[in-house]
Amino acid sequence: MKLSMTLKAAALTLCGASVASADTIVDIAAGDERFSTLVAAVSAAGLVETLQGDGPFTVYAPVNAAFAALPEGTVETLLQPENKAQLTNVLLYHVDDRNLPAAGIPTGSNYFKPVLASERLCITKSSEGVMIADGTGEMANVVIADIKADNGVIHVIDKVLLPGTRPACH
């Protein structure tokens, strides 16, 4: 009985400790199966430590289905060590170095500068939701907004954002 009580107390202490621990953007993504491809990519690019940092960050996080929609072989090619620089650029295109909750996105179409400084995103907010145009001119929809992390915010998107030509933003 005494051992059982001690084990229960230890379990409660451990649970309490995990509740008090920080949930960074990486921790949240790693704990959600919908982001397993994104987590693998962040690991392959060596960006885990960066995105576990203080931030603030806003991450436009594509779900696994968004990666699966890329042309066949794209993800596998990007994950190869010799393509780390290209993978890193694609991933940094999904990160803003501010904490930008949905309420902080102005209505209408506006350019936003991701961490990949040579590029721009066009984010459009309307009564229908938030959409993001990338360098291919394609649109991603924010399907879940404002997953709060200790070092920023995650907006879940349905398309992998790809750098390229500056998107039209009107």
pLDDT tens sequence across 80-124: 999 999 999 999 999 999 999 999 999 999 998 888 878 889 999
d(CA 8, CA 157): 41
d(CA 150, CA 53): 10
Rg (CA), the chain: 18
pTM equals 0.84
Q: What is the pLDDT of residues 13-70, one digit of tens each?
A: 333 333 434 599 999 999 999 999 999 999 999 999 999 989 899 999 999 999 999 9
Separation in Å, CA 115 to CA 2, 8, 119: 55, 46, 8
Q: What is the pLDDT of residues 132-169, one digit of tens each?
A: 999 998 999 999 999 999 999 999 999 999 998 888 88
